[in-house]
Amino acid sequence: MENRKKGYLFVHFTGESPEGEQVYYALSRDGLHWQDLNGQKPVIRWKAGEKGVRDPFIVRSVIDGKFYIIATDLRIVNGKGWTAAQMEGSTKIVIWCSTDLVNWSETWTFETGVPGAGCAWAPEAVYDPEKEAYLVFWASMTKETGDAAHKQRIYSAYTRDFKEFTAPEKYIEREHHVIDTTIVEEAGVFYRFSKDETTKKVRMDRGTSLQGEFTEMDAETLNVLMGVEGPAAFSIGEEGEWCLMVDRFAEGLGYLPLICTSLEKGDFKVAEPGDYHMGDVCKRHGSVLVLKEEEYERLQTCFGNKISERQVTGTSCQTVCLAAHRHRFERG
């Protein structure tokens, strides 16, 4: 089949280590078994600003056909700490562009411009057909009139080229802090996944317009899964299934795949340990791009080692994630 999915690219960071807060690649044929690329070294490094990036999100633009990576300007390993990172951190989004996923442009940044904001975390983008532009959204810590304390809210702006943006607007506000929102579309319906920073759960809701009303869904598995963040959703297989990966940050166990038959049902099931392999490198908050065959082959040629049986079925990266977890700063 001409449009058959041929592979997946996972763009991520690895944690609070000297080189961990940069952009890494992993490759997969099925979206469940991952091969670390580039000798387990960063593919892109950010040496300006905070001198590190977290939460990289990759998108294939339907407007110009180019690829864009947008990321959080933050390097926790420099000793800043989580309180300062939220209250006095960078409010810029770091951006790269590519036509082939191999050669990336010089970096530029977008100053989000939310008044009084202390950070701009986990930026992502989704195409809005009503606006014929990309809705870019991120979490910022702000304090509005009447607030007893600062609060994480989701803000947004529109762009067509990731260089010119509209003025920021508040996009999601909840009773609790909300961060790590990701949005995907299926059959004309938008599905949002967001982390409740108070309960440490991921909430799922749905709506037919990005600027319209969203309704919370009763996704049983998400309701009971605690200590997770960084949701990344992508279509998988040929039967309409979806994979939602969540980072088990509280236990330091890395990403866990959840599989559902359709987003409409939200019937997520935790993948069995023998059904997936996350590679040898600990993977922290990132995103997954569905690849064409020629893109998969190009990445394998430029960044891959020959896939060995050990790489795709060997020891889980949980050991690496647990080691990183022991050095992780606790959020306030």
The yes-or-no verdict on residue 47 having pLDDT over 80 is yes
Q: Are 102 and 43 in contact (CB under 8 A)?
A: no
The yes-or-no verdict on residue 327 having pLDDT over 80 is no
Spell out the domain ranges in the chain.
12-325
CA distances from 248 to 130, 195, 242, 284 (A): 35, 12, 19, 9
Q: What is the pLDDT of residue 4?
A: 61
> pLDDT tier at 318 (50, 70, 90 boundaries)?
low
> pLDDT tier at 238 (50, 70, 90 boundaries)?
confident
pLDDT in tens, 1-23: 345 658 999 999 999 999 999 99
Q: What is the pLDDT of residue 312?
A: 36
The yes-or-no verdict on residue 308 having pLDDT over 70 is no
CATH 3.40.228.10 is right for the domain spanning 12-325:
no
Q: What is the pLDDT of residue 240?
A: 86
pLDDT in tens, 74-128: 999 999 899 999 999 999 999 999 999 999 999 999 999 999 999 999 999 999 9
pLDDT in tens, 193-224: 999 999 999 999 999 999 999 999 999 999 99
The yes-or-no verdict on residue 52 having pLDDT over 70 is yes
**Amino acid, res. 79:** G
The yes-or-no verdict on residue 323 having pLDDT over 90 is no
Measured CA to CA, the distance from residue 288 to residue 302 in angstroms comes to 19
